């Protein structure tokens, strides 16, 4: 009887997966409001969020990443890898960009003329949190960058390409997970378990650009400031809410994330930036959501931050605008909120 059950389960595993594929093909435009998910491919993970939790990944990882070297992936590795790839995808056409993530948030990111400079600049943002982090870049890892990377302990490195000699140096780290980023496009939908069901939403494909900026203050940002504002806003989009991001010269100086108060997020960002010796004068500030009060722009101004980007949309927007005008600060609205929970 048990053998028959086993064979029946195998048969229906194949047929149900086939039926699901057919349904999803004909329902690609969501004519019927029904969710069908099926996967016959599973990858056992080292463990779940904690060592006492077992975990598996269902899907085909080979379509998005290719593991070149290193130990077996864990649940936390995959979450960090997912966010790292999402973040670096914002900089696909940018100059060499390097990001360092820890617990799903960027602790360092920078865009420079070459990859080794971008890495050094990103590491300067927070050299402490970088330990054991996930590293990602948008350009080929060259020999010079690999030599710098060999001095740091980190879990994962993701890049679109690797120089042959650079790879030899990186492979000296026995357990280092080296991944080639082969993703071509992001999935349309995002799934998340919630209570006794599944939340489904469209992925956030909106990326802030100069085109959607609304200049709301008397003082207008120059091109260099606009570039930094867009850079900061992209980081904000992929950081846990509430978040405030501080940037100067395409380098993350400090961020406050996952705070219940936006003021606390800003205070944390300032404390972190100062703790690593950064001067905040002429830095820019980005917020993932609007300011209900002028307190954040007041705090920023006292630190020498004169340029701000935020979605706008508060019934009290005028309070922040009025303060900025009085202090000759510059502020732009994007009209797009980027909450991340």
Q: Residue ranges per domain, the chain?
A: 56-181, 210-333
Query: What pLDDT sits at residue 189?
Result: 87
Taking CA atoms, 269 is separated from 1, 18, 28, 263, 323, in Å, by 63, 50, 43, 10, 21
Query: What pLDDT sits at residue 78?
Result: 95
Summarize the confidence of residues 260-279 as an average pLDDT. Answer: 96
Residue 270, helix vs strand vs coil: helix
Summarize the confidence of residues 329-333 as an average pLDDT. Answer: 97
pLDDT tens figures, 5-32: 888 888 888 888 888 889 888 988 888 8
* CATH of region 210-333, choose from 3.40.140.20, 3.40.50.1980, 3.30.930.10, 3.40.50.1260: 3.40.140.20
Topology of domain 56-181, per CATH? Cytidine Deaminase; domain 2 (3.40.140)
| 2: confidence class by pLDDT, cuts 50, 70, 90 | confident
| 258: confidence class by pLDDT, cuts 50, 70, 90 | very high
Work out the number of other CB atoms within 10 angstroms of the CB of residue 103: 15
69: left (phi over 0), alpha (psi -120 to 50) or beta: beta
Question: Using an 8 Å Cβ cutoff, are 287 and 269 in contact?
Answer: no
Work out the number of other CB atoms within 10 angstroms of the CB of residue 130: 21
Taking CA atoms, 58 is separated from 37, 42, 55, 116, 200, in Å, by 10, 4, 10, 35, 17
Summarize the confidence of residues 174-199 as an average pLDDT. Answer: 90
Whether the domain at 56-181 and the domain at 210-333 fall into the same CATH topology? yes
In this structure, of 50-54, 58-62, 84-88, 252-256, the range with the lowest mean pLDDT score is: 58-62
Query: What pLDDT sits at residue 29?
Result: 83
- How big is the CA angle at 34 (ends 32 and 35), to the nearest 5 degrees? 140
Residue 9, helix vs strand vs coil: helix
pLDDT tens figures, 181-191: 998 778 888 89
> How many angstroms separate the most distant Cα atoms in the chain?
81
């060592």: which residue's tokens?
51
- 26 Cβ neighbours under 8 A, 6+ residues apart: none
Burial tier of 328 (Cβ tally within 10 Å: 0-12, 13-18, 19+): exposed
> What span, in angstroms and rounded, lies between the C-alpha atoms of 50 and 74?
10
pLDDT at 52 over 90: yes
pLDDT tens figures, 98-133: 999 999 999 999 999 999 999 999 999 999 999 999
Model confidence, pTM? 0.92
| 277: confidence class by pLDDT, cuts 50, 70, 90 | very high
Average pLDDT of the chain, as a whole number: 94
> What span, in angstroms and rounded, lies between the C-alpha atoms of 91 and 79?
20
Query: Do you find a cis peptide bond into 199, omega within 30 degrees of 0?
Result: no
Taking CA atoms, 2 is separated from 7, 10, 24, 339, in Å, by 9, 12, 32, 49
Summarize the confidence of residues 59-67 as an average pLDDT. Answer: 91
């Amino acid at each position: 009887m048990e053998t028959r059950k086993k064979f029946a389960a195998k048969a229906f595993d194949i047929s149900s997966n086939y039926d699901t594929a057919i349904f999803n093909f004909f329902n690609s435009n969501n004519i019927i409001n029904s969710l069908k998910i099926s996967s016959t491919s599973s990858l056992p993970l080292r463990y779940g969020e904690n060592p006492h939790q077992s975990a598996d990944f269902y899907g085909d990882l080979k379509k998005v990443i290719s593991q070149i070297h290193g130990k077996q992936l864990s649940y936390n590795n995959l979450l960090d890898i997912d966010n790292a790839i999402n973040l670096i995808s914002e900089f696909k056409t940018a100059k060499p960009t390097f990001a360092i993530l820890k617990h799903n948030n960027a602790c360092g990111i920078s865009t420079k003329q070459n990859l080794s400079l971008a890495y050094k600049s990103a590491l300067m943002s927070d050299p402490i949190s970088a330990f054991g982090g996930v590293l990602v870049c948008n350009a080929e890892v060259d020999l010079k960058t690999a030599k710098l990377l060999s001095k740091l302990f980190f879990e994962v490195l993701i890049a679109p390409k690797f120089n042959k000699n650079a790879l030899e140096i990186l492979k000296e780290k026995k357990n280092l997970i080296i991944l080639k980023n082969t993703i071509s496009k992001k999935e349309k939908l995002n799934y998340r378990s919630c209570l006794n069901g599944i939340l489904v939403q469209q992925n956030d494909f909106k990326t802030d650009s100069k085109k959607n900026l609304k200049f709301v203050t008397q003082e207008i940002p120059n091109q260099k400031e606009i570039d930094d504002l867009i850079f900061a806003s992209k980081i904000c989009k992929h950081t846990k809410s509430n978040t405030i991001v501080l940037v100067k010269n395409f380098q993350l100086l400090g961020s406050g994330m996952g705070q219940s108060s936006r003021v606390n997020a800003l205070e944390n960002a300032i404390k972190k930036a100062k703790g690593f010796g950064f001067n905040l004068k002429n830095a820019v500030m980005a917020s993932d959501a609007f300011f209900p009060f002028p307190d954040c722009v007041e705090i920023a101004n006292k630190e020498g931050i004169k340029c701000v980007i935020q979605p706008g949309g508060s019934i009290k927007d005028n309070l922040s605008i009025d303060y900025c005008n009085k202090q000759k600060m510059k502020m732009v609205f994007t009209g797009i909120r980027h909450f991340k929970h």
